[in-house]
Amino acid sequence: MKLYPLKFDAIMKDRLWGGEKLQKLFNKPSKTETTGESWELSGVKGDVSKVANGELSGTSLNQLIEDYSEKLLGESVVNRFGKEFPILIKFIDAKEDLSIQLHPNDELAKERHDSFGKTEMWYIMDADPGANLIVGFNKNLEKQEYKSSLENNTLLDLLNYEPVKEGDTFFINTGKVHAIGAGVLLAEIQQTSDITYRVFDFNRKDKDGNLRELHTDLALDAIDFSKKDDFRVVYDREKNKVNKMVDCPYFKTNIIDLDSDLNLDITARDSFSIYMCVSGSATIENEFGSSSIQKGETVLIAASSDILKITTKEAKLLEVTI
């Protein structure tokens, strides 16, 4: 079997804070009014993606890795991560504010949860007027001041609020408190992990009338209490070129803003490639086949691919590799 460009069935996640944009704008398979996430490409246990197109349709991502190993992932990726897919790809619709949260680093996550940590990045696809993100603190804190703010219900006064618009990009390293604000639609790229420490949830109740669980004690040893302006990603926006956005130990992300066709030689790339369409539409072709992709869709290209042809009149693609 030749590894043509692979698309996967979306795994939809209903969330207390979710809305209807994923269904209405991207035609995702959801019928609820509180759909918060579309997991596009996942190796998370219990939520493993399945191929949606071509001869491999119905095959799980784990089975693909079992069958094709280095051909799919790349030799260096297999050497580092074995048979675990190291990236989780999502689209997120926040109709309401998400909880204030953070993620542990690899060491803590391994010790406590036998999991990877969770470093992530966000690309803003759409934002209502006045929408913002919470990213970090607005001053350097001591642990006791933070604990007091939880007890006094004043945590929100210590947080940093960032207004956002389409195209804004944020890198969220482990330990940084953060939250997606109401009215934001974004693409998320992250380590394969579902470990989140929730520290404040606006005293909201779930559908059963219960307050959601907080992870106050677990979070204390995981939080970075310092004020750091290290989260906004500045990147070039040259047309019909591959523009670097993020290069971290867990993933590399570029943006490709196209108004004409583009040919890429990826022979030397020892990694799979993921393309998330954040605007427009395109056809992506390798030696073994092609797949159409439109806004809100994702395609996986095997590491064994040498040549990639992107055919389009207009598209913006996020390119993700290891």
Domain locations along the chain: 11-220, 242-321
- Give the model's pLDDT for residue 34: 96
Q: What is the mean pLDDT of residues 287-316?
A: 98
Report the alpha-carbon angle 12-216-223, nearest 5: 85
Over 80: is that where the pLDDT of 1 sits? no
CATH 2.60.120.10 describes domain 11-220: yes
* CA 279/CA 190 separation, integer angstroms: 20
Catalytic annotation, residues = 198
**Position 206 confidence tier, pLDDT thresholds 50, 70, 90:** confident
E strands, 129-241, are 132-137, 159-163, 169-172, 178-180, 184-191, 197-200
What confidence tens digit (pLDDT) does each residue in 189-205 have? 999 988 999 999 998 88
The CATH-assigned architecture of domain 242-321 is Sandwich (2.60)
pLDDT attached to residue 274:
98
Mean pLDDT rounded to a whole number for the chain: 96
> DSSP label at 157?
G
Q: What is the pLDDT of residue 31?
A: 85
Give the separation between CA 278 and CA 181, rounded to whole angstroms. 19
| Helices of type H across the chain | 21-26, 61-73, 75-81, 106-113, 143-151, 216-220
**pLDDT exceeds 90 at position 238:** yes
The predicted model gives 240-266 an average pLDDT of 97
Count how many Cα atoms sit within 13 Å of the Cα of residue 278 in the half-sphere of its side chain. 30
- Please give the model's pTM, rounded to 2 decimal places: 0.95
93: Cα within 13 Å, side-chain hemisphere: 24
The whole-number pLDDT of residue 204 equals 86
What's the pLDDT score for residue 212?
87
**Does 11-220 match 242-321 in CATH topology?**
yes
Judge whether 308 and 263 are in contact, CB under 8 Å: yes
